[in-house]
Amino acid sequence: MSDGHEHNGHEHVPSRQRRRFPGISSRTYEHPADRSALVALRKLSGFDTVFKALSGLLPERSLRLLFLSDSVRVSDQQFAHLNVMLRDACYILDLEKVPPMYVNQDPQPNAMCIGLDEPIIVVTTGLVELLDGEEMRAVVGHEVGHALSGHSVYRTILLFLTSLAVRVAWIPLGNLAIMAIVTGLREWFRKSELSADRAGLLAGQDLQASMRGLMKIAGGNHLHEMNVDAFLAQAEEYEAGGDLRDSVLKILNVLPRSHPFTTVRAAELKKWAESRDYQRIMDGHYPRRDEDKDTSFRDSWRESANHYSTHVKSSKDPLMKLVTDLAGGAGDLGDRVRRGFGGFTSASPKPPQGPQTGPSDSSGEDRPPRDGS
């Protein structure tokens, strides 16, 4: 990149033999929750207005000059090993124009893909120092996946609106409107991280390296003290543990975050890596970009809805179990909520009832359960 010429992702062959995916569509690795969260975001009142306004006002040129002046641009002469990884990932995922990558001095391990017209990838020194080569390759592939999916536009607007919300916090209605959009953007971005994790796996093609990277982000550079199986067991405990109070607290804990919890990301990625879908991709069967225009919105929405339905029905989370049971017409709502909260709410015991003389209410018992989506 330092030679002043644009680099093409097809000019470089990966440093070791990995499967390449010519013409791959981002639909291949997009998590269904990512797609449906973005649809919900676009339906949010005022989003289109804000999006169009900010797209024309945000100083993208200023953003690029900032990184150019105060960060280190990755090239053949600077952070050459990252440059090799970047070009590898673009070659494998068939991203023709290699986006600029910068290393920014920051002890916090982080990476992001931002930009409105063209994506820019930024990684922090904390992340570069934390991860080994194959772990870093998965992260670079993760960011290239964001670029291929067009996520950088929404990420840039999220960063700007988050900053703006702080500045206008004294305006009650103005801040409320902005925070509604920020909350929607965060919900989408958390889901988009699951998609990008999949892209990182396709680029690196080393599940163990992806797992190690997530573990290090969670627990630091102490791999000798960590265990992948135990780490994944944490995710299962998090998903299934507690009562309805814990379910509510999980929602409140994740709301201000831009990323899903690392244990959840690891479990989701491992599940996908072991799926038939992933194997089909590795065998060369995946959606192509030239087919994207033929894919209807309804089909995408149906796939997302089916995913949510399956997720809710199979979830061990107490709140999701309640939703599933209620959708199937099981039991009394008040009674189930009281049991779910485990005594958190006090209620006087019901007096014993005699046998019913009238016909029993079977409403819901004979109906097939509705989609949990």
- pLDDT at site 120: 95
Radius of gyration of the chain (CA): 23
Q: Where residue 298 falls among pLDDT bands split at 50, 70, 90? A: low
Pair 268, 196: CB distance under 8 Å: no
Amino acid identity of residue 333, one-letter, is L
Mean pLDDT value across residues 29-50: 76
Q: What percent of the chain clears pLDDT 70, i.e. is strictly above it?
A: 61
C-alpha angle with apex 143: 140 to 148, nearest 5 degrees?
Answer: 125
- Write a three-state SS string for the chain: CCCCCCCECCCCCCCCCCCCCCCECHHHCCCHHHHHHHHHHHCCCCHHHHHHHHHHHCCHHHHHHHHHHHCEECCCCCCHHHHHHHHHHHHHCCCCECCCEEEECCCCCCEEEECCCCCEEEEEHHHHHHCCHHHHHHHHHHHHHHHHHCCHHHHHHHHHHHHHHHHCCCCHHHHHHHHHHHHHHHHHHHHHHHHHHHHHHHHHCCHHHHHHHHHHHHHCCCHHHCCHHHHHHHHHHHHHCCCHHHHHHHHHHHCCCCCCCHHHHHHHHHHHHCCHHHHHHHCCCCCEHHHHHHCCHHHHHHHHHHHHHHHHHHCCCHHHHHHHHHHCCCCCHHHHHHHHCCCCCCCCCCCCCCCCCCCCCCCCCCCCCCCCC
- pLDDT at site 363: 43
- pLDDT at site 240: 72
Q: Where residue 359 falls among pLDDT bands split at 50, 70, 90? A: very low
Pair 186, 258: CB distance under 8 Å: yes
Pair 63, 122: CB distance under 8 Å: no
Looking at per-residue pLDDT, the higher value among 137 and 253 belongs to 137
Query: Is it the case that residue 250 has pLDDT exceeding 80?
Result: no
Looking at per-residue pLDDT, the higher value among 217 and 36 belongs to 217
Q: Where residue 161 falls among pLDDT bands split at 50, 70, 90? A: confident
Give Cα 150 to chain centroid, integer Å: 14
Using CA of residue 134, residue 139, residue 142, residue 147, what is the dihedral sign?
Answer: negative
Looking at per-residue pLDDT, the higher value among 263 and 320 belongs to 263
- pLDDT at site 55: 63
pLDDT tens for each residue of 303-330: 544 544 454 445 454 444 444 444 454 4
- The pLDDT mean for the chain works out to 76
Query: Is it the case that residue 116 has pLDDT exceeding 80?
Result: yes
Q: Model pTM?
A: 0.72
Query: Is it the case that residue 69 has pLDDT exceeding 80?
Result: yes
- pLDDT at site 210: 97
Query: Is it the case that residue 154 has pLDDT exceeding 70?
Result: yes
Q: Where residue 162 falls among pLDDT bands split at 50, 70, 90? A: confident
pLDDT tens for each residue of 93-111: 999 999 999 999 999 999 9
Q: Where residue 92 falls among pLDDT bands split at 50, 70, 90? A: very high
Residue tagged 């990149």 (tokens)? 1
pLDDT tens for each residue of 54-65: 666 666 677 788
- Sheet of 72-73, strand order: 72-73, 101-104, 120-124, 111-114
pLDDT tens for each residue of 1-31: 444 444 555 555 555 689 999 999 999 999 9
Both tokens of 169, joined, read 């916090």
